[in-house]
Amino acid sequence: MVPVRNNVLSDQSSLNQFLAGVSLLKKEKTAYTTKRFGIPGPDNPVYTYDLFVLWHIGATNLAIPRGGDPSLRNAAHRGPVFLPWHRLMLISLEANLRRVLKNDDFALPYWDWSADGDDGSPTDAPIWSAAFMGGQGDPVSDGPFGYYPDDPGRFTVRIESDINGKPVQAGGGTGRGLVRTFAQEPPDGWTKLPDSEDVKATLNYTPPGIDPEDRYDVVDFSADSDGFRGRLEGWLPRGRPWMHNQVHQWVGGDMGPSSSPNDPVFYLHHCNVDRIWESWMEQYGRLYAPTTAPDPPYGGERIDDILTFGGSQQFTPGNMLDVSRRYTYGP
């Protein structure tokens, strides 16, 4: 039976297992240390959960085309690989959670942020209660990811990205608490979550004057290119963050920089992004672009190129288009 990813607010079992699994991965040492990754400071162990933070930082710093500017397009963002790369990340985390939970049927839950958007983006929505993800703060002081200084098992941010996007040890190597700063980023238009009308508009959008087969993404396959991917990632329409980007901005704090997987809500958010992508493919077909294109400038983004992700297995965007044997989504 294929595992089902359900709404975190309506599936208590998935929530409980997610919280337990994150705690286990946070405590599980890997064979790596910070020195192995060239991170300055004391040579500290790297834990499994924090490996995902490092992989995300690494992909964000890897430019496409190689040698270019990663802030314009990189191996995980601002281009067509955004959706397949993060799908692979979710699959990999899910596999590790199944391993430590000893439950092959576990599926990541999703957070439908558009429902909160419809409700006016309340900062006291159920998702932010102590029973779910906890609320905002510097540091967050309630819920499963609150920072309790006297508790040796507290949730601790260990690896973060500096002002240049490079990995550093949080607190100089001693760690710190998780930070969230809800709806604090200007301008005013950013201080809300996407709503159901935003989702509908993204799903129904087709770039004008193109072949429908090219509706996923169009040349030059960047943050400026039109299509479904650019709309869902949140670069278009121009003027402010939308959709995926808008959620990161709204949650704020640790959800802002390239080390955003430090906040476990990152995975609930991206699970919802993945759910929207899956809904789009069910409507229009399992489309992807570019399929064949010159290298450079599009090497690393084509359908059969290897996605730059940590771990020993190699996957392509094409491998990520049909996941029907891995998981499905509930209502």
pLDDT of residue 57: 98
Q: Does residue 272 register a pLDDT over 70?
A: yes
pLDDT of residue 190: 65
Q: Does residue 136 register a pLDDT over 60?
A: yes
pLDDT of residue 47: 98
pLDDT digits (tens, 9 = 90+) for 51-66: 999 999 999 999 999 9
Asked if 184 contacts 261 with a C-beta cutoff of 8 angstroms, the reply is no
Asked if 32 contacts 22 with a C-beta cutoff of 8 angstroms, the reply is no
d(C-alpha 135, C-alpha 139), whole Å: 10
Closest CA to 265 of 138, 105, 140, 117: 140
Q: Which of 12-16, 135-139, 224-228 has the lowest mean pLDDT?
A: 224-228
pLDDT digits (tens, 9 = 90+) for 212-256: 888 999 999 999 999 999 999 999 998 889 999 999 999 999 999
pLDDT of residue 208: 86
pLDDT of residue 269: 98
Q: Is 151 exposed, middle or buried (0-12, 13-18, 19+ CB in 10 A)?
A: exposed
pLDDT of residue 202: 97
d(C-alpha 206, C-alpha 201), whole Å: 10
pLDDT of residue 185: 59
pLDDT of residue 311: 67
Closest CA to 260 of 250, 271, 248: 248
pLDDT of residue 326: 97
Q: What pTM was computed for the model?
A: 0.96
> Helices (H) and strands (E) in the chain — how many of each?
8, 6
d(C-alpha 80, C-alpha 229), whole Å: 7
Q: Does residue 281 register a pLDDT over 70?
A: yes
Q: Does residue 104 register a pLDDT over 80?
A: yes
Q: Does residue 277 register a pLDDT over 80?
A: yes
pLDDT of residue 150: 86
Average pLDDT value over all residues in the chain = 94
Measured from the Cβ of residue 8, the count of other Cβ atoms closer than 10 Å reads 23
pLDDT of residue 196: 98
pLDDT digits (tens, 9 = 90+) for 166-179: 999 999 999 999 99
pLDDT band at 13 (very low <50, low <70, confident <90, very high): very high
Q: Does residue 186 register a pLDDT over 60?
A: no
pLDDT of residue 188: 53
d(C-alpha 70, C-alpha 59), whole Å: 9
